[in-house]
Amino acid sequence: MGSAVAYHLARRGLKVLALEQFDIPHEFGSSHGVSRIIRLAYAEHPNYVPLLQRAYELWRELERKTGERLLFVTGGIDAGEESSSLVSGSLLSCQIHDLPHERLDSASITRRFPGYRLGQEMIGIYQPDAGFLLAERCVVAHVVAAQKLGAEVRARERMMQWRTVEGGVSVKTNRDSYRARKMIITAGPWSRTMVPALRDTAVPERQVVIWTQPLQPDYFKLGVFPVFNMEVPEGRFYGFPVYGVPGFKIGKYHHRLERVDDLDQMDRDCSLEDEDVLRAGIRRYFPDANGPTMGMKTCLFTNSPDEHFILDRLVSDPQVGIAAGFSGHGFKFCSVVGEIMTELMIDGAPKLNIEMFRLSRFAAAQVRDCRN
Ligand SMILES: Cc1cc2nc3c(=O)[nH]c(=O)nc-3n(C[C@H](O)[C@H](O)[C@H](O)COP(=O)(O)OP(=O)(O)OC[C@H]3O[C@@H](n4cnc5c(N)ncnc54)[C@H](O)[C@@H]3O)c2cc1C
């Protein structure tokens, strides 16, 4: 998010300083690794679809600017029982926004995409625009494009403190001090340590993904296997065709429900217990991918209470913007979040509607809870 914000601010001709506490890229936050799914039939809420349509445009624009391919369209399947929130939500987004899609039963899915073995009770919404983004390359591309436009980007520099001052903000890092007229905080899992208002509304959670060697490599190839999300009794799985590293990649939302209060103490190793959670999904729904383990990695979600994003300025300090709480589904939106936060902070309001992402919705919910 920070790399995209830096790019969009620089694109407006502003003087930009971007700070990153680790390297660019690095493996300690939420945006590392090869791939992240992008999809248009958005089960989480149909209001995300206009943001996604703009996100696709901006990813393509970034590809043109940097001469690098970042987005691969594979088609995507949202699967589960007809009544599941994933299938009904995906279908609703398709209907409201008139998105091309097909409703497929489990046998048709296996005929067309032989890697899939869904239960008879399951159906899938196939949406042809879904695919994946090359995650770390996207971060690098935004940084390089921002630098080309004059942004100053500094890695291994950690913001230690900030405060509002007359006409702007003052920031202290481990290396220096700065003043700026405005500041946008995109600190991912660290957001709650930077912004007290996010203490209970942007909470980190440990995640794990695995890559396994397919037993039938042809079924899981790029061009054959569509990305997926799947709501099943075990939970919600997501996965990708083989690309970039050996192996079929699968993860499970909220993995083992491990909230992380101290990021310095987080367990960044992957265990056999972690593997069991993911193998259960592979064994049952993708048996032809159930070969030897090729790799595993930890990563972090930053969950908001309703799992919708937080895109706002602070009421107490309106010169400070925040983009946080991406709740495990934010990467695909980085490009458009960069544009939205720029418009919010520079023009006063973005062109796209971000009402449902206001931080104040949680304060309002707390007041309602007290009254009940
Ligand atoms: C396993 C996994 C799978 C996912 N799959 C998908 C997917 O398929 N599709 C999708 O759309 N999304 C997916 N997501 C979610 C997506 O990756 C995140 O929503 C997104 O990467 C969040 O980006 P961010 O910039 O908010 O956080 P981060 O990438 O963590 O960036 C925050 C940055 O701020 C820096 N920082 C923090 N504090 C300071 C400080 N004080 N000073 C300087 N720098 C600081 C950090 O070092 C970090 O680099 C997935 C997430 C995980 C963990």
What pLDDT is stored for residue 24 in this prediction? 98
User: pLDDT averaged over the chain?
Assistant: 96
Average pLDDT over residues 56-66: 98
Angle CA(61)–CA(328)–CA(253) in degrees, nearest 5?
130
Residue 255 CA: nearest ligand 1 atom is: 1
How far away, in angstroms, is 237 Cα from ligand 1 center?
19
How far away, in angstroms, is 299 Cα from ligand 1 center?
8
Ligand 1 pocket at CB < 6 A: 1-2, 19-22, 29-31, 36-37, 158-159, 186-190, 194, 207, 209, 238, 251, 299-301, 326, 328-332
**For a substitution probing ligand 1, which of 7, 26, 31 has the most ligand atoms within 8 Å of its CB?**
31
pLDDT at 325 over 80: yes
pLDDT at 53 over 80: yes
Q: Assign 22 a pLDDT band (cuts: 50, 70, 90).
A: very high
Q: Could you give the C-alpha distances from 364 to 22, 312, 316, 359, 370, in angstroms and in order?
A: 36, 15, 16, 9, 10
What pLDDT is stored for residue 364 in this prediction? 62
Residue 330 CA: nearest ligand 1 atom is: 19
Q: Report the candidate in 176, 251, 158, 173 with the shortest Cα–Cα distance to residue 212.
A: 251
What pLDDT is stored for residue 366 in this prediction? 54
What pLDDT is stored for residue 363 in this prediction? 81
Residue 328 CA: nearest ligand 1 atom is: 15
pLDDT at 367 over 90: no
Q: Assign 274 a pLDDT band (cuts: 50, 70, 90).
A: very high
Beta-carbon contacts of 139 under 8 Å, excluding residues fewer than 6 positions away, are: 3, 24, 25, 31
In the block, tokens 């309002």 appear at 364
Task: For the chain, give the percent of residues with pLDDT over 90.
Answer: 97
pLDDT, one tens digit per residue, over 287-317 is 999 999 999 999 999 999 999 999 999 999 9
Q: Assign 31 a pLDDT band (cuts: 50, 70, 90).
A: very high
Q: How far apart are CA 264 and CA 44, in angstroms?
A: 31
pLDDT, one tens digit per residue, over 114-154 is 999 999 999 999 999 999 999 999 999 999 999 999 999 99
Cis, bond preceding 25 (omega within 30 deg of 0):
yes
Specify the length of the chain in residues: 372
pLDDT at 354 over 80: yes
- Amino acid identity of residue 268, one-letter, is R
pLDDT at 90 over 90: yes
How far away, in angstroms, is 185 Cα from ligand 1 center?
12
Q: Report the candidate in 114, 40, 35, 33 with the shortest Cα–Cα distance to residue 78.
A: 40
Pairing relation of β-strands 152-154 and 168-173? unpaired
How far away, in angstroms, is 1 Cα from ligand 1 center?
7
How far away, in angstroms, is 107 Cα from ligand 1 center?
37
Residue 203 pairs with which residues in a beta bridge? 303
How far away, in angstroms, is 302 Cα from ligand 1 center?
8
Residue 238 CA: nearest ligand 1 atom is: 8
pLDDT at 73 over 60: yes
Q: Give yes or no for a contact between 65 and 59, defined as CB atoms under 8 angstroms apart.
A: no
Beta-carbon contacts of 283 under 8 Å, excluding residues fewer than 6 positions away, are: 290
Q: How far apart are CA 213 and CA 291, in angstroms?
A: 5
Tokens of 154: 């500094």
Beta-carbon contacts of 30 under 8 Å, excluding residues fewer than 6 positions away, are: 188, 189, 299, 300, 301, 302, 326, 330, 331
pLDDT, one tens digit per residue, over 154-191 is 999 999 999 999 999 999 999 999 999 999 999 999 99
Q: Could you give the C-alpha distances from 158 to 80, 223, 235, 260, 295, in angstroms and in order?
A: 43, 41, 37, 20, 30
Tokens of 14: 């502003």
Q: How far apart are CA 365 and CA 153, in angstroms?
A: 38
- Amino acid identity of residue 45, one-letter, is H
Q: pTM of the full predicted structure?
A: 0.97
What pLDDT is stored for residue 281 in this prediction? 98
Q: Report the candidate in 269, 285, 28, 31 with the shortest Cα–Cα distance to residue 134.
A: 31
**For a substitution probing ligand 1, which of 30, 205, 266, 309 has the most ligand atoms within 8 Å of its CB?**
30
